[in-house]
Every structure is written in structure tokens, then in C-alpha cells.
């Protein structure tokens, strides 16, 4: 018994780091979320008033829904595109490594660089996309990509998808590499064409890679802040005001530390819940398949 | 069911040629075994038949069809892989049904065929299990079942038993032989285990470095090898080889002196013309040493391996790399002593040391 307990001693350094840099800040935030702290001066205890405000106003609900919708779009597109490119590249071993590196490059760039590049591309008059459309004789398709409230969220989502497709593609390529070549050869001998081999053999065996990819991109996208902040600052007319933008705005725009903390706690709960539920569903599916 | 024929078949990877113009005919219903050391091209040749490797040159026919450039699925072959290559996410039944299902076969027909294969292979109780819940032998049977249900013209086996333990290997060996009899199908089987080759084959193809060394029935290869390689490769323990010299010519017979055996003179029957003083390699299998043999030799005993029924004596010497191996029955001479034994010259074979070809 003593021996077994002594094993836990080895987890102490990790637990210390976790407690110091993760649990402690979360507790501090939780504590602050019950105050009206303004960054300086005294933190006055206001009880549940911050939370009361969040749940009694339509605007915060719609921001939460917007964040979830944005995540659904981005994660779905990342998963499908990543799978598509990985399936293609898996069948093209000659260009696989080069193409993987090329696809991954956007994910290595800073959000700020990507944000400003795409802000230029999206800009309504002389932006790259509209000029290209005009030059191709498709002037009718020109849009005010970031200025149109109905379109802005999808423009931002597209940038995020462009940035991280290489990331999911790399995860799926690793998944493909884990499938023994003989499985594919057996499928070929049995007359399965490329699509059938993908659909019936590779896709089910990619289960673990799908779980990893979906979980990581979901968590990343729910928390995303940089791209909408640089591209639209939450505008136009709140069309891209994700929860993270709201938090930053309250924190550094209006110095409502207490209220921003309450929003952060809500966001943490959402992220944890979504990640937990998703992981459970995907893992169960993996086991079945 | 169909016969298979290869005509000057070549495989190249870039500039490297790994199969050099193989000519081979396999009859309908024959059990043909490809055997040879690692890297001899036996698996490559099998994969070329399957269509998993492109044939660089030459022609290949299965039955009346020229399949040289056919897709794997169009060739009418089924393959059993060394690693079984079962689909891990499917049950045994789904694994066996997959090929039929995607070819659009009727559901009741699929069920009938799969049930029948399950029965033949004694898998009926495991049909709803996943491969990971099966033992190695059962997985191998599922892989064979997957091949059977498609009723191919030719079955291909790529070292199917090398992942099994010794006992199971013997069991499955018998089972595959039984299956061959039951189905009467053409089967091609790759192995590096010559016991499998000797026991299962109707015809053995010995390969070395991408070339066929000899084709023949197991006993023919054992008793009548064409060259030093086949003589040394077939048979376990291997054949003993001795450097010798022709010292006397007779009618259809020569006298060969063997320095390694104390310069004894061995009479060997040959048809071809030899000359006096010609160097030769004399081959003699371990079981052809015999206490009652006409030619007596004395060998120092270095190692004595007792296998119960038979035992093997290993005798080293400073001049040669490999020990002489002698098979004994009933005798248990102590290590370190000298073994007095005879040999039966009528079983001795002669080879040309230069070309390594048999002198007949």
C-alpha cells in the first residue's frame, strides 16, 4: 500500500505547476467575477449581479449563439477540408511532404499578419478579392466582404478555415499513416474503388484522428479572438461580436474587470461542456466502429 | 479455376531490376510454392500476379485472359496477407462480405456464401466478433474465408503462417492443404519455410535474386537438385558439400578423392565426360552417412544434438567454414570422441565448383 501511495509523489511537480498557473488564475477570475472591480481601486463585492446581467439580456445570448454558430461552421469546414486534402495527399506520395508543408504554412504565421493580409484582400474598393473578380469579368460578384453584416461572420470564418486547414490535414495524414497499407491492398483486390476504400475502410479507421482534430479545433475556435478582432473588431453592427471580443472589450475597452471575469467563467464552462460532450460522443463512436 | 502462365516477366524499380525474366507455368488446381531466401523476389512475384505491383515487362495470363496490365480486382485472384489485413472495424461476417457487398451481390447470396465459408473454416461461432477478439489462427481463417467467398480463379498466400506460433503453424498447414483438396483451386503460396514448401506443394519454385533456380515436385528437388543453391537450400539440416578431385575415370563412374574426409575415395555415378584432376564439389545429405556404408570415414565430434528419434553430429575442421553434419539413429557417441561411420556413395551428387551446376 505504501509503495502505491508513494507513486503519487511523482505527480507533485506537475500538480504544482497546474495549480499555480491554471487553477489559481481560474479561482482568481471566479472570485473577481463576483465584484465590480475596475482595474484600480477597491474590488466591491456585488454578489451574482454580473451573472444576472449576462442572463437577463438578449445581447449576451445572441453572442453565445454566434460563437457556437461560428464554431460549427469553422470546425465542420476544417474537418471536411482537412480530410479531403489528407485523402488526396495520401494517394499522391510524391508531392505529399511538400504539399503538407505548404498547407501548414498559414498555421505557422502570426494571427496579426494573417489578419492584416486578409483585411487587405477583403477591403471593398481596392482589395485583392474584389480586384481579382473585376479583372476576371465577375464584377457582379463583388462584395463588401467585411462591411456587410450578413456576410462578415463568414468572411472571418473563411480566413480562420484558410489558416487551419493545413493543421487538420496534418492530423489526418498522421491518421492515414497509421492505417496499414495491406488494408488498402486487400480492399483493392476485392474490387473497392478509391472512394469506396475511403468511405468503408479509411474513414472508420480514422476515428481517433477525427476525435483529436475535432476536439482541438473546437476548443481553439470557441476561444478565438485574434482574427475577428483584427478584421472587424466585432462589427459591423455586432455581426462578428463573438464572446471573446465581448470579453476583451469589457476588459480593456471599458475596464469592467469584474464583468469580463464573469463572461470568462461562462466561456470556460461552455468550452469545457462542449469539449466533454463532444469527446464522449466521438469516443463512443470510435468504439462502435 | 484456371491455369497461370508467366512469360519473361520482369520487375524494375527505377534502375534496379528485382525480377529477371521469369518463365513459369502453373497448372489448373496446382498448389505451387515459391520459396527462397529473403529478398529473392518471391513476394514481389506474388504481388505482381495479384496486380499490386506493376509488371515492367513480359506477359502474364490467367486462364484465357492476358492480365498483365489488369487492375487487381479484374484478375480473378484473392490474396491472404502475412498480417491478415482484416478490416479491424468490421465483424468477421462483415469482413468476409465486404468484397461481395461492394460488387453489388444480392444480400441473400452473400449470406449463403459467407455462411458456407464460415462452416468450411469452422468460424460459425465467431461471425459477429471483431478481429481483435480472435486468436491468431482464427484471424488467419477469416482472411482465408474472405478469399474463399469471392471464388477466385487463383488463391495467393503471402507467408500466411509466419505470424503464428509453431503448433498453430502445423495445424494451419494441414488445414490449408485440406482446403486445397476440397476446393481444387489453383493456389500460389510464398514462404521461406522449406518445411511448408516440402509438405504442401505439388510444385516448388526455388528463387534466388529474382531468378528461378529450379522448378519441380518437392521430392525431385530434394533428390535431384540442378545446382548447388537448390541442393543447399532444400533439406534441413542442409546438404554437406566437400571439395574433391577426380582421380580415376570409369564407365559412367568416376572416383573422387575428398581431402576433408581423410582423402577417402568415393565412387560416383555420372553420365557426362570428366577429366582426370578435375576439381568437383561433392554433395552428401546428413542421412546418407550410414554405419553400414561402403566408404568408411572418421570424424571428430564437436557438437551432438539429440532430437529423440534422430540426432545430429557436427564436426568442424580448421580448413572449412561449415561443419559436417551427420544424422545418426540410435547411436549416442560422446562429444570429443571420434565418430567411425560409413557413407553411401550412391547418393553422392557432383557439382561444378565454378558454375555451381550439377554434373550428371
Query: In the predicted model, is pLDDT for residue B217 greater than 90?
Result: yes
**CB-based contact (8 Å) between A93 and chain B?**
no
How far apart are alpha carbons B186 and A130 in whole angstroms?
Answer: 66
Q: Which of A76-85, B112-121, B244-253, B315-324 has the lowest mean pLDDT?
A: B315-324
A188: chain B residues, CB-CB within 8 Å: 52, 71-73
Tell me the shortest Cα–Cα distance from A195 to chain B, in angstroms. Answer: 11
Whole-number average pLDDT of chain B: 90
Residues B338 and B205 in one domain: no
Query: In the predicted model, is pLDDT for residue A153 greater than 60?
Result: yes
pLDDT digits 0-9 by tens, B22-67: 999 999 999 999 999 888 999 999 999 999 999 999 999 998 889 9
Average pLDDT over residues B19-24: 92
Residues B30 and B85 in one domain: yes
Average pLDDT over residues A255-276: 89
Q: Which three cell numbers stand for residue A179?
A: 492505417
How far apart are alpha carbons A277 and B11 in whole angstroms?
Answer: 53
Q: What Cα–Cα distance (Å) separates residue A147 from each residue in A117, A151, A153, A222, A238?
A: 16, 8, 10, 23, 11
- CA A203, B91, B176 angle in degrees (round to 5)? 115
* H helix count then E strand count, chain B: 8, 22
How far apart are alpha carbons A58 and A64 in whole angstroms?
Answer: 10
Confidence of residue B165 (pLDDT cuts 50, 70, 90): confident
How far apart are alpha carbons B359 and A48 in whole angstroms?
Answer: 103
Q: Which three cell numbers stand for residue B33?
A: 510454392
Tell me the shortest Cα–Cα distance from B123 to chain A, in angstroms. Answer: 20
How far apart are alpha carbons B38 and B299 in whole angstroms?
Answer: 33
- CA gyration radius, chain A: 23
Tell me the shortest Cα–Cα distance from A216 to chain B, in angstroms. Answer: 24
Question: Are residues A191 and B50, on separate chains, in Cβ contact within 8 Å?
Answer: no
DSSP strand pairing (B203-208 vs B31-35) = parallel
Query: In the predicted model, is pLDDT for residue B114 greater than 80?
Result: yes
pLDDT digits 0-9 by tens, A223-245: 888 888 888 887 788 888 888 88
How far apart are alpha carbons B83 and B118 in whole angstroms?
Answer: 20
Residues B105 and B140 in one domain: yes
Tally of CB atoms within 10 A around B159: 20
Q: Given this model, what pLDDT does residue A148 score?
A: 84
Residues B161 and B66 in one domain: yes
Q: Given this model, what pLDDT does residue A289 score?
A: 46
Residues B246 and B227 in one domain: no
How far apart are alpha carbons A38 and B60 in whole angstroms?
Answer: 84
Q: Do the beta carbons of residue A190 and residue B86 sit within 8 Å?
A: no
Residues B214 and B255 in one domain: no
Confidence of residue A2 (pLDDT cuts 50, 70, 90): low
Residues B67 and B192 in one domain: yes
SS3 assignment for B176-243 = HHHHHHHHCCEEEEEECCHHHHHHHCCEEEEEECCEEEEEECHHHHHHCCCEHHHHHHCCCCCCEEEE
Q: Do the beta carbons of residue A219 and residue A279 sit within 8 Å?
A: no
Q: Do the beta carbons of residue A67 and residue A243 sit within 8 Å?
A: yes
**CB-based contact (8 Å) between A185 and chain B?**
yes
Give the best residue of A186, A197, A200, A202 to mutate against chain B (max B CB count within 10 A). A186
Establish how many alpha carbons lie within 13 A of residue A106's alpha carbon, considering only the half-sphere containing its beta carbon: 20
| Nearest in space to B157 (alpha carbons), one of B233, B236, B49 | B49
Nearest to A182 among B72, B83, B89 (CB): B83
The helix (run of H) or strand (run of E) holding residue A61 is helix A58-90
pLDDT digits 0-9 by tens, B245-262: 999 898 889 999 998 888
| Nearest in space to B357 (alpha carbons), one of B286, B281, B285 | B281
Percentage of chain B exceeding pLDDT 70? 100
Of B218, B233, B248, the residue that ends a domain is B233
Query: In the predicted model, is pLDDT for residue A160 greater than 90?
Result: yes
pLDDT digits 0-9 by tens, B277-300: 899 999 999 999 988 888 888 888
Q: What is the CATH number of the domain that holds B221?
A: 3.40.50.300
Interface of A with B in 204-243 (CB under 8 A): 204-205, 207
Neighbouring residues of B119: CB distance < 8 A, sequence distance ≥ 6: none
**CB-based contact (8 Å) between A200 and chain B?**
yes
**CB-based contact (8 Å) between A182 and chain B?**
yes
Residues B161 and B293 in one domain: no
Of B233, B264, B288, the residue that ends a domain is B233
**CB-based contact (8 Å) between A191 and chain B?**
yes
In the DSSP assignment, the letter for residue B76 is T
Q: Do the beta carbons of residue B206 and residue B234 sit within 8 Å?
A: yes
Question: Are residues A186 and B79, on separate chains, in Cβ contact within 8 Å?
Answer: yes
Average pLDDT over residues A113-124: 89
Confidence of residue B1 (pLDDT cuts 50, 70, 90): low
- Which residues constitute the domain of residue B79? 4-233
Q: How many domains does chain B have?
A: 2
Residues B317 and B207 in one domain: no
Q: How far apart are the first and last CA of chain B?
A: 38
Average pLDDT over residues A193-206: 91
Question: Are residues B73 and A188, on separate chains, in Cβ contact within 8 Å?
Answer: yes
Residue-by-residue DSSP string for A225-288 = -HHHHHHTTT-STTTT--HHHHHHIIIIIS--HHHHHHHHHHHHHHHHHHHHHHHHHHHHHHHH
How far apart are alpha carbons A187 and B27 in whole angstroms?
Answer: 27
Q: Which three cell numbers stand for residue A55?
A: 442572463
Question: Are residues B72 and A189, on separate chains, in Cβ contact within 8 Å?
Answer: yes
Question: Are residues A186 and B89, on separate chains, in Cβ contact within 8 Å?
Answer: no
Tell me the shortest Cα–Cα distance from B124 to chain A, in angstroms. Answer: 22
Query: In the predicted model, is pLDDT for residue A39 greater than 80?
Result: no
* Paired strand residues for B241: B283
Please indicate whether residue B268 or residue A138 has the higher confidence score (pLDDT).
B268
Nearest to B103 among A180, A191, A205 (CB): A191
Residues B248 and B299 in one domain: yes
Question: Are residues A188 and B78, on separate chains, in Cβ contact within 8 Å?
Answer: no
Residues B32 and B181 in one domain: yes
CATH class entry, domain A65-288 = mainly alpha
How far apart are alpha carbons B71 and A214 in whole angstroms?
Answer: 36
Residues B326 and B229 in one domain: no
Of B186, B201, B233, the residue that ends a domain is B233
Task: List the B324-328 sheet strands across, edge first.
Answer: B303-306, B311-315, B324-328
How far apart are alpha carbons A170 and A106 in whole angstroms?
Answer: 13
Tell me the shortest Cα–Cα distance from B279 to chain A, in angstroms. Answer: 50
Amino acid at each position: 500500500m505504501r509503495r502505491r501511495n508513494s507513486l503519487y509523489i511523482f505527480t507533485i511537480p506537475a500538480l504544482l505547476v497546474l495549480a499555480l498557473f491554471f487553477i489559481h488564475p481560474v479561482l482568481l477570475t471566479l472570485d473577481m467575477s463576483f465584484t465590480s472591480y475596475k482595474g484600480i481601486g477597491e474590488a466591491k463585492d456585488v454578489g451574482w449581479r454580473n451573472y444576472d446581467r449576462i442572463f437577463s439580456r438578449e445581447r449576451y445570448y445572441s453572442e453565445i449563439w454566434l460563437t457556437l454558430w461560428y464554431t460549427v461552421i469553422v470546425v465542420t469546414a476544417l474537418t471536411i477540408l482537412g480530410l479531403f486534402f489528407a485523402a488526396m495527399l495520401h494517394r499522391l506520395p510524391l508531392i505529399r511532404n511538400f504539399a503538407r508543408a505548404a498547407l501548414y504554412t498559414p498555421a505557422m504565421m502570426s494571427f496579426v499578419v494573417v489578419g492584416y493580409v486578409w483585411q487587405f484582400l477583403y477591403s471593398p474598393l481596392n482589395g485583392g478579392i474584389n480586384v481579382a473578380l473585376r479583372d476576371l469579368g465577375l464584377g457582379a460578384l463583388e462584395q463588401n466582404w467585411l462591411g456587410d453584416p450578413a456576410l462578415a461572420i463568414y468572411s472571418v470564418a473563411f480566413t480562420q478555415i484558410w489558416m487551419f486547414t493545413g493543421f487538420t490535414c496534418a492530423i489526418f495524414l498522421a491518421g492515414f499513416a497509421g492505417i496499414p497499407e495491406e488494408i488498402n491492398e486487400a480492399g483493392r483486390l476485392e474490387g473497392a474503388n478509391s472512394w469506396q476504400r475511403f468511405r468503408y475502410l479509411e474513414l472508420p479507421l480514422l476515428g481517433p484522428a477525427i476525435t483529436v482534430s475535432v476536439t482541438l479545433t473546437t476548443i481553439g475556435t470557441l476561444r478565438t479572438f485574434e482574427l475577428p478582432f483584427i478584421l472587424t473588431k466585432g462589427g459591423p453592427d455586432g455581426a462578428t461580436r463573438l464572446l471573446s471580443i465581448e470579453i476583451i472589450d469589457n476588459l480593456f475597452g471599458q475596464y469592467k474587470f469584474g464583468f469580463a471575469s464573469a463572461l470568462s467563467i461562462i466561456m470556460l464552462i461552455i468550452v469545457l461542456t462542449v469539449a466533454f460532450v463532444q469527446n464522449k460522443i466521438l469516443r463512443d463512436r470510435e468504439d462502435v466502429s | 479455376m484456371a491455369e497461370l502462365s508467366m512469360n519473361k516477366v520482369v520487375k524494375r524499380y527505377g534502375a534496379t531490376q528485382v525480377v529477371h525474366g521469369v518463365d513459369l507455368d502453373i497448372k489448373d488446381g496446382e498448389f505451387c510454392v515459391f520459396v527462397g531466401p529473403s529478398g529473392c523476389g518471391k513476394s514481389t512475384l506474388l504481388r505482381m500476379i495479384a496486380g499490386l505491383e506493376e509488371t515492367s515487362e513480359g506477359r502474364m495470363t490467367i486462364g484465357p485472359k492476358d492480365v498483365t496490365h489488369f487492375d487487381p480486382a479484374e484478375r480473378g485472384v484473392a490474396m491472404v496477407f502475412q498480417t491478415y489485413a482484416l478490416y479491424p472495424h468490421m465483424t468477421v461476417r462483415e469482413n468476409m462480405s465486404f468484397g461481395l457487398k461492394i460488387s453489388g451481390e444480392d444480400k441473400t447470396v452473400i449470406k449463403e456464401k459467407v455462411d458456407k465459408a464460415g462452416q468450411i473454416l469452422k468460424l460459425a461461432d465467431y461471425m459477429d466478433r471483431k478481429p481483435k477478439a480472435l486468436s491468431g489462427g482464427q484471424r488467419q481463417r477469416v482472411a482465408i474465408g474472405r478469399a474463399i467467398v469471392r471464388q477466385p480463379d487463383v488463391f495467393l498466400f503471402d507467408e500466411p503462417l509466419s505470424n503464428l506460433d509453431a503448433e498453430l503453424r502445423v495445424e494451419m498447414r494441414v488445414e490449408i492443404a485440406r482446403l486445397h483438396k476440397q476446393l481444387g483451386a489453383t493456389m500460389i503460396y510464398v514462404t521461406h519455410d522449406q518445411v511448408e514448401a516440402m509438405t504442401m506443394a505439388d510444385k516448388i519454385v526455388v528463387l534466388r535474386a529474382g531468378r528461378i533456380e529450379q522448378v519441380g515436385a518437392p521430392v525431385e528437388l530434394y533428390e535431384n537438385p540442378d545446382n548447388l543453391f537448390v541442393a543447399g537450400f532444400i533439406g534441413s539440416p542442409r546438404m554437406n558439400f566437400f571439395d574433391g578431385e577426380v582421380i580415376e575415370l570409369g564407365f559412367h563412374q568416376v572416383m573422387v578423392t575428398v581431402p576433408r574426409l581423410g582423402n577417402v575415395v568415393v565412387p560416383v555415378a555420372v553420365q557426362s565426360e570428366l577429366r582426370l584432376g578435375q576439381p568437383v564439389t561433392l554433395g552428401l545429405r546428413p542421412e546418407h552417412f550410414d554405419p553400414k556404408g561402403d566408404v568408411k570415414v572418421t570424424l571428430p565430434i564437436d557438437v551432438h544434438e539429440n532430437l529423440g528419434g534422430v540426432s545430429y553430429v557436427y564436426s568442424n575442421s580448421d580448413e572449412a567454414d561449415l561443419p559436417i553434419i551427420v544424422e545418426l539413429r540410435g547411436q549416442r557417441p560422446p562429444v570429443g570422441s571420434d565418430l567411425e561411420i560409413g557413407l553411401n556413395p550412391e547418393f553422392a551428387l557432383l557439382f561444378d565448383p565454378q558454375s555451381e551446376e550439377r554434373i550428371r
